[in-house]
Structure 1
Amino acid sequence: MQLKLLLQVCPLVAKLKRFYEFSLRLENALRSLLEALTSPPYAPMQHLEREQALAKQFAEILHFTLSFDELKMTNPAIQNDFSYYRRTISRNRLNNQQLEAENEVNNEMANRMSLFYAEATPMLKTLSNATTKFVSENKTLPIEDTTDCLSTMACVCRVMLETPEYRCRFTNTDTMLFCMRVMVGVIILYDHVHPVGAFAKTSKIDMKGCIKVLKDQPSNSVEGLLNALRYTTRHLNDDSTSKQIRALLQ
């Protein structure tokens, strides 16, 4: 019975491994994109205008990241199945047995995957760490070059979502959702790397406008995005955050 259950779980574990390995590739890709979109001599808006293909790739990564994490948060079976796999593999190891499945995900890989999937939003956590690391490793690059790039993208998305002449060009709800996910993604990255975050009065992101745009949509399509702002940002509960913004996210 135990072997039968394990054989059912193994394909799922293999898929989780592929997503974990993909997160590492996304981390490297994001850092390369940030370097391309923030390097001198151009300002962030100039970069986004000159490097539209790279900006689109950045947006695609954020769209996937938010999509993946929303699905992960609504599927607790992911961690339950993986925990069962790890327990079974450990038990067999104690009994000097090694199953073929262990060749796919050995103990060291399982430990790394466990830390990854323990996060509420694992892909977003990976990108936030990558952005923070990019800023810390590029000390000669003013942090404003990175935060201005992120805030500019957030502004572009907000304007597209709230301006009727732009919204009428959206052919379906998927395009709206794409813009909302990108907007929320860059807000979260901005909040992780900016010294006072995205919610302070000095922030270059219009947080009230961004939150209002989200709340104007059907709740079932944006609740995951609002939760991402509530629970994966760093500065929401700082003293510099106004009561009005906190109230908007309640």
Structure 2
Amino acid sequence: KLFRIWHQPYFLSKGLCPLVAKLKRFYEFSLRLENALRSLLEALTSPPYAPMQHLEREQALAKQFAEILHFTLSFDELKMTNPAIQNDFSYYRRTISRNRLNNQQLEAENEVNNEMANRMSLFYAEATPMLKTLSNATTKFVSENKTLPIEDTTDCLSTMACVCRVMLETPEYRCRFTNTDTMLFCMRVMVGVIILYDHVHPVGAFAKTSKIDMKGCIKVLKEQPSNSVEGLLNALRYTTRHLNDDSTSKQIRALLQ
């Protein structure tokens, strides 16, 4: 976490600058995740196999997709609980701007110059920056692959959501979970694919015609301790595109209140 250190060059160098460099590494990692996600979507949706066949044949790739979603939701939950990051990064940007006027330079500027700082600022300004990156990547994948039916992508996402929901709500599967981390992993993956589905499907995940059982997914989340799922419920409330559409039933809206 970044912290404010006002006009103390030594602490700027020894305290703030290494943390700015760490934020840069996470930003650059988000770019690698974007490329990785698009490659995974291509592998999991390409003909001639159906989504379930892909997930069965390419289990290692499906697991990697799930790992990316798990990390994404984990990172964004931490980011949302540390609002000082944006304030302190803004302080860093003001400092390097002031230093340019005074012909001075911080050590961190070798890694995070003004141009990079501007890109990072846009990234961290998002409430859920990693999830926003993946949503954009999925949308771009669909728009650039016009010969690939959109259903191939949405069916892959809805199938993963269904698998996670069944694992979470079926006693014979839940009894195999050895710890709460496995439960949380499944919940994060389920929420992640729902959000991606909602971003690329024409009518979204909440419509009656959706292939995702949103009522069942929300109910299984709300059965868990509130402290472990509130961030996931907020992700559904605030990072989806179609929740407030007319096609969303009042019952689903009520479940997310």
Q: TM-score, normalised by structure 2?
A: 0.94
- Report how far residue 101 of structure 1 moved: 1.8
Deviations 1:117-145 (A, max 9, x none): 00000000000000000000000000000
Worse-superposed segment, 76-85 or 118-127: 76-85
> 2:18–2:108: 8 Å Cα contact kept in structure 1?
no
Task: Pick the aligned partner of 1:101 from 103, 108, 112.
Answer: 108
Give distance in 2, aligned partners of 1:144 and 1:92. Answer: 52
Match of 1:102, SS? helix
Q: Distance in 1 between matches of 2:106 and 2:36?
A: 35
Does structure 1 conserve the Cα–Cα contact (< 8 Å) formed by 2:233 and 2:256? Answer: yes
User: Aligned with 1:55: secondary structure?
Assistant: helix
Once residues 108 and 76 of structure 2 are traced to their aligned partners in structure 1, the CA distance between those partners, rounded to angstroms, is: 26
Residues 37-84 of structure 1: CA deviation (Å, up to 9, x unaligned): 000000000000000000000000000000000000000121122111
For residues 66 and 176 of structure 1, what CA distance do their matches in structure 2 show?
14
Question: Deviation string for 1:3-29 (max 9, x for gaps)?
Answer: xxxxxx111100000000000000000
Counterpart of 2:137 in 1: which secondary structure?
Answer: helix
Q: Distance in 1 between matches of 2:159 and 2:106?
A: 51
Q: CA deviation at 1:96?
A: 1.8
| 8 Å CA contact 2:206, 2:243 repeated in 1 | yes
Moved more, 81-90 or 130-139: 81-90
Shift in Å at residue 89 of structure 1? Answer: 0.6
How far 1:100 moved relative to its partner? 2.1
- Give the secondary structure class of the aligned counterpart of 2:254: helix
The question of 1:11 aligning with 2:18 is answered yes
- What is the rounded CA distance, in whole Å, between the counterparts of 2:151 and 2:59 in structure 1? 20
The structural deviation recorded for 1:246 is 0.2
Aligned ranges 1:204-243 → 2 under 5 Å: 204-243=211-250
**Equivalent residues, number:** 242
- Rounded Cα–Cα distance in structure 1 between residues aligned with 2:36 and 2:50: 21
Tell me the distance in 2 between the aligned counterparts of 1:98 and 1:187. Answer: 45
Separation of aligned partners in 2, 1:68 and 1:98: 31
Give yes or no for contact 2:17–2:107 (8 Å, CA) kept in 1: no
Retained in 1: the 8 A contact 2:207–2:248?
yes
Matched position secondary structure for 1:21: helix
Q: Which moved more, 1:82-91 or 1:217-226?
A: 82-91
Whether 1:175 and 2:186 are equivalent positions in the alignment is no
Matched, 1:45 2:52: yes
* Rounded Cα–Cα distance in structure 2 between residues aligned with 1:169 and 1:98: 56
Deviation of the 1:98 alpha carbon:
2.0
Residue 99 (structure 1) shift: 2.3
Aligned-CA RMSD value: 0.5
